Structure 1
């Protein structure tokens, strides 16, 4: 299993956000998020949105820091990616 996190570059609600994903199993992603205090409401179909202040803590807990490009590449390769047009 690999839990991946990108840089917190995405502005919303007065802060920056990163994405937390898995390249193997959503159940393990949910377990990792819950064990590290990320609320279920942060899950958005194929990733968690996590605030900038949680980034270092999640990396210390085992999330692998990767670029946004690498995160998306590995999410697509896993078959877990949900594209924006698929949300309808």
Structure 2
């Protein structure tokens, strides 16, 4: 099982943001706790269960073992990770 962080680093509110996703919600929430992200930041939507993370938190997540994934290079893996996140989003936490 794994936690993933994409390279979709979008500008918003003066920072750049990416998405933290995982194979299971348990893993996702555990990584968020390690990063100091409050549970209220959890995005439980049909677009996919995830946390938004700043570019700095993305790097910290990678140091903690999150797998960096690229929407440009790892397209098959990214589609699979997003599909799992969408299913988790529908099911709730």
Equivalent residues of 1:8, 1:51 under 8 A apart? no
Aligned residues: 80
TM-score, structure 2 as length reference: 0.73
Structure 2, unaligned stretches of length 5 or more?
A: none
Shift of residue 62, structure 1, vs aligned partner: 0.5
Equivalent residues of 1:36, 1:58 under 8 A apart? yes
Equivalent residue, structure 1, for 2:81:
74
TM-score, structure 1 as length reference: 0.76
Alignment map for 1:23-34 (pairs within 5 Å): 23=23, 25-34=24-33
Q: Please, what is the CA RMSD of the aligned residues?
A: 1.9
